[in-house]
Amino acid sequence: MALFRVLVVWAVGTVTMVVLAAILPDFRLQSADGDSATRIAITAAAGAGAFGLLSALVWPLLVRALLLVPAFVLGLLVFFLNASLLLIALDLAPVGNGTVGPETAVVVAAVMSAASSATSTALTVHDDGAYRRRLARLADRRRRRRDGRDGAAGHAGRPQPPGTVFLQLDGVGHDVLRDALRERPGAGGRTRPPLMEHVAAWAATTHRLTPWRTDWSSQTGASQLGILHGSNEDVPAFRWYEKESGEVMISNRPSSAAELQRRAAARSGHAGLLTDDGASRGNLFTGGADQLALVLSIAARRGRGNRSRSGYFAYFCDPANAARTAAAFIAELFREIGQSLAARARRDRPRVGRGGLYPFIRAFATVVERDVVVAAVIGDILSGRTAVYADLVAYDEVAHHSGPRGRDTHQVLRRLDRSLALIAKVIDHAPRDYRLVLLSDHGQSPGATFAARYGLTLQDLVRAGCGLPVPRRARRTRSGAEARVAARAALRRPEAAEVPDAAAVPAARTAPAQAARPHPPRDPVVLGSGNLGLVSFPGLPGRASREEIERHHPALLRTLAEHPGIGFLLVHSAEHGPVVLGRGGAEHRLDSGEGAENSPLGAFGPGAAEAVRRTAGFPHAADIMVNSACDPATGAVHAFEEQIGSHGGLGGEQSRPFLLWPRELTPPTADGSELVGAERVHEVLRRWLDEAAARPETAPPPADPPPAEELAAGRVP
């Protein structure tokens, strides 16, 4: 049967080559004088055979040699490497006169790889016995390789306790998922199926859906660090300034991620959630796993010790996988360009720019990252690994630029549903039972950016409140002009001293000059993490107190607190401890509770005060923590970045992610209370792993193979 499949795939490759030679002008299988049909067929057969042999033998070596090449570059090289193999194959063919232009070779190689792969998959799937044997061989090979490393070969094949697969749908909030699981109205009073049909079926039968509440820093860095490593202490935002080193920590920078992981492990006293035979796929952090693919905290390493790139090798060593993913990558580029043009034509509001590198970033997140992570998870399941945690980032990336709810994100949710269904089908063939847990790290809140709504950035507003120069466009906005007037008056500084067009704020001209202040601080560092802003003063050592800030910048805090786009500020008072400031002079002293009845935090829901108080105790909390305003009716916020779907602070759905867990597991909380904070989620997931390890060993029930169309779409290895 195996020989029959090889012959059929070879025949399909031969026919494909003949057809392509007939329709592509730069691809020929005959000499200039012409050849007989028989000789053309022999040439095609020889070329197809040589190309298939080279793909099987040489391609894995090429991919392994390129593991140190950045993933984005590797994706672009796929077509050209495949074309090079075709050119070599035609030269090595013992008979025939095949020639092809370099540009055309890219097309021919891609089509041949796709046709051969589709044929092989179809033949294998329709032969149920062969398919089961193939899965068994893959699983046994992976188990033997792993057991050989672990010194536990004698345990291979024995029934085991159930494993657990945690799949993180990055940025998918509880309410977004709930809506995606409902039937939708259609034409003629009929209903349409849910956006995520397979997940909807699980929620209705085998799983339960539960929301949980993030910390104030509602973003992947803080949430995933807490979930995987049990501590997200001193992670105030996605990016923040550390005065002692003068550096900006950024959660998705490899060096920062490695340092955050080290700090979390030191605080929690353990390496992470996945230390017991675990795998980490597509995450910011390892979770203590020894099997890694696309893990950022080790991405800065170079050399053989960098196993994060092994996921690329496992996937791209099959040239058909490489060609399909590259083709899907290009299709996603055109999809994003088309959707961006359509949004512009419809005059959608709010809207942000989607040019530059963004189409490539989106295509990587929605295609390459998805394909590599899904393939790695499937390999982990077939090898019987105990715990797997994988992050699928597609929705989060698209929602930032298209909004949390809309046509673009609906398409992403449908594709994610198909990927999840594929993983669930492969679990049926695993050497052990598996529990599939879905979760998210945060949600997303919609809303126009702060700059689009008010005409100036947070940095502009801070500088204006400090009496520092700002761009002309910011000075011309109402809030910018008001901030400068207040700052100049408080500082007793004449407006014309620094601003050539002082007519924008004439009231400040008559203010007397300010006496020179000794040792003025350097310009403030202003950073944005979604709708959470951070203001630090490098010239003021340590955590600057409210009193110090008001002494150096007497108009700044009031300027920020009274701005309509800002919901509240957090500062630290030398006298009263952490204090929350809001509009109209509102002041909530968190330690004593004074002012709680009129707290600016009241508009941000239950638990806001506890979340802010916790962050106030972080050593690296900024001198001023700024949270944008939130519309209580719509949940809309104003990001301090170029995002119309944002997260990072308080307000709206961003703080409300989800857990979708099997009903056989114990509830997240014993009393049904709300699950609060990523560290609590870590405790729940660790408890579920411990419960699985304590269960009696059982063998998984047999199952039929997935349908052919699902395998073809999902590319089971």
Q: What is the pLDDT of residues 72-81, one digit of tens each?
A: 555 555 556 6
**209 phi, psi to nearest 5 deg:** -105, 125
For helices 478-491 and 458-465, what crossing angle results, to 10°?
A: 30
Instruction: Supply the DSSP symbol for 543.
Output: S
What pLDDT does residue 61 have? 62
Mean pLDDT of the 97-101 span: 68
- Report if residue 711 sits inside a domain: no
Q: Give all strands (DSSP E) within 131-244, no chain letters.
A: 163-169, 184-185, 191-192, 207-213, 239-242
User: Who has greater pLDDT, 253 or 108?
Assistant: 253
Mark whether 132 and 116 lie in a shared domain: no
Per-residue pLDDT for 33 more than 90?
no
Mark whether 112 and 251 lie in a shared domain: no
Mean pLDDT of the 143-161 span: 54
What pLDDT does residue 532 have? 98
Query: Distance between CA atoms of 535 and 468, rounded to whole angstroms?
Result: 14
Q: What CATH number is given to the structural domain containing 219?
A: 3.40.720.10
Instruction: Supply the DSSP symbol for 651.
Output: S
Place of tokens 């188990």: 143
The answer to whether 48 touches 79, Cβ cutoff 8 Å, is: no
- Report if residue 297 sits inside a domain: yes
Per-residue pLDDT for 68 more than 90?
no
Residue 65's pLDDT band (boundaries 50, 70, 90)? Answer: low
Mark whether 233 and 382 lie in a shared domain: yes
Most confident of 6-10, 100-104, 216-220, 366-370: 216-220
What pLDDT does residue 450 have? 96
Per-residue pLDDT for 509 more than 50?
no
- Report if residue 394 sits inside a domain: yes
Place of tokens 């998984």: 700
Give the pairing type, strands 624-628 and 532-536.
antiparallel
Most confident of 138-142, 310-314, 660-664: 660-664
Residue 709's pLDDT band (boundaries 50, 70, 90)? Answer: very low
Weakest mean pLDDT among 28-32, 530-534, 647-651: 28-32
Mark whether 547 and 416 lie in a shared domain: no
Weakest mean pLDDT among 170-179, 326-335, 440-449, 608-617: 326-335
Consecutive H or E run containing 112: helix 102-126
CA distances from 550 to 462, 536, 562, 575, 691 (A): 13, 14, 15, 14, 54
What pLDDT does residue 261 have? 96
Mark whether 602 and 676 lie in a shared domain: no
Residue 683's pLDDT band (boundaries 50, 70, 90)? Answer: very high
Tell me the residue range of the domain where 521 lies: 450-461+516-643
Residues ≥6 apart with Cβ < 8 Å to 250: 238, 239, 256
Query: Distance between CA atoms of 541 and 521, rounded to whole angstroms?
Result: 10
Residue 327's pLDDT band (boundaries 50, 70, 90)? Answer: confident
What pLDDT does residue 108 have? 73
Query: Distance between CA atoms of 545 and 549, rounded to whole angstroms?
Result: 6
Per-residue pLDDT for 470 more than 60?
yes
Per-residue pLDDT for 610 more than 70?
yes
The answer to whether 696 touches 248, Cβ cutoff 8 Å, is: no
What pLDDT does residue 26 have? 72
- Looking only at Cα atoms, what is the longest distance across the chain? 98
pLDDT digit string, tens, across residues 344-383 = 999 999 999 998 889 999 999 999 899 889 988 988 898 8
Query: Distance between CA atoms of 221 and 95, rounded to whole angstroms?
Result: 58
- Report if residue 314 sits inside a domain: yes
Per-residue pLDDT for 21 more than 60?
yes
- Report if residue 694 sits inside a domain: yes
The answer to whether 95 touches 669, Cβ cutoff 8 Å, is: no
Query: Distance between CA atoms of 470 and 559, rounded to whole angstroms?
Result: 15
- Report if residue 373 sits inside a domain: yes
Mean pLDDT of the 16-25 span: 77
What pLDDT does residue 436 have? 97
The answer to whether 321 touches 351, Cβ cutoff 8 Å, is: no
Mark whether 424 and 404 lie in a shared domain: yes
- Bridge partners of residue 168, in order along the sequence: 391, 439
Mark whether 427 and 529 lie in a shared domain: no
Most confident of 37-41, 101-105, 258-262, 699-703: 258-262
Rg of the chain over Cα atoms, rounded to whole angstroms, equals 29
Mark whether 524 and 420 lie in a shared domain: no
Query: Distance between CA atoms of 85 and 482, rounded to whole angstroms?
Result: 66
pTM score over 0.85:
no
CA distances from 15 to 4, 19, 102, 123 (A): 17, 6, 21, 17
Mark whether 454 and 582 lie in a shared domain: yes
The answer to whether 598 touches 520, Cβ cutoff 8 Å, is: no
Mark whether 243 and 343 lie in a shared domain: yes
What pLDDT does residue 301 have? 59
Consecutive H or E run containing 677: none
Number of domains in the chain: 3
pLDDT digit string, tens, across residues 393-434 = 999 999 999 999 989 999 999 999 999 999 999 898 888 999
The answer to whether 568 touches 651, Cβ cutoff 8 Å, is: no
Nearest one of 274, 279, 265 to 308, comparing CA atoms: 279
Nearest one of 652, 482, 444, 473 to 564, comparing CA atoms: 482
Nearest one of 165, 196, 214, 104 to 412, comparing CA atoms: 196
- Report if residue 715 sits inside a domain: no
Query: Distance between CA atoms of 695 and 560, rounded to whole angstroms?
Result: 56
What pLDDT does residue 30 have? 63
User: Who has greater pLDDT, 388 or 122?
Assistant: 388
Q: What is the dihedral of CA 230, 231, 232, 233, to 10 degrees?
A: 160
Residue 528's pLDDT band (boundaries 50, 70, 90)? Answer: very high
* Bond preceding residue 350 cis, omega within 30 of 0: yes
The answer to whether 658 touches 674, Cβ cutoff 8 Å, is: no
Consecutive H or E run containing 490: helix 478-491
What pLDDT does residue 608 have? 96
Per-residue pLDDT for 495 more than 80?
no
**256 phi, psi to nearest 5 deg:** -70, -40
Residue 29's pLDDT band (boundaries 50, 70, 90)? Answer: confident
- Give the tokens for residue 136: 């068994």
The rounded mean pLDDT for the chain is 81
- Give the tokens for residue 124: 């294998």
pLDDT digit string, tens, across residues 192-221 = 999 999 999 999 999 999 999 999 999 999
The share of the chain scoring above pLDDT 70, in percent, equals 71
Nearest one of 671, 642, 674 to 655, comparing CA atoms: 674
Per-residue pLDDT for 479 more than 60?
no
Residues ≥6 apart with Cβ < 8 Å to 143: 156, 157, 383, 384, 431
Residue 715's pLDDT band (boundaries 50, 70, 90)? Answer: very low
What pLDDT does residue 15 have? 83
Mark whether 20 and 133 lie in a shared domain: no
Query: Distance between CA atoms of 629 and 615, rounded to whole angstroms?
Result: 19
What pLDDT does residue 144 have? 59
What pLDDT does residue 379 have? 85
3-state secondary structure of 528: strand
Query: Distance between CA atoms of 563 and 392, rounded to whole angstroms?
Result: 37
Nearest one of 29, 37, 17, 717 to 378, comparing CA atoms: 717
Mark whether 179 and 305 lie in a shared domain: yes
Number of residues written out for the chain: 717
- Report if residue 509 sits inside a domain: no
What pLDDT does residue 311 have? 56
The answer to whether 203 touches 660, Cβ cutoff 8 Å, is: yes
- Give the tokens for residue 59: 């391609």
Place of tokens 């390459």: 368
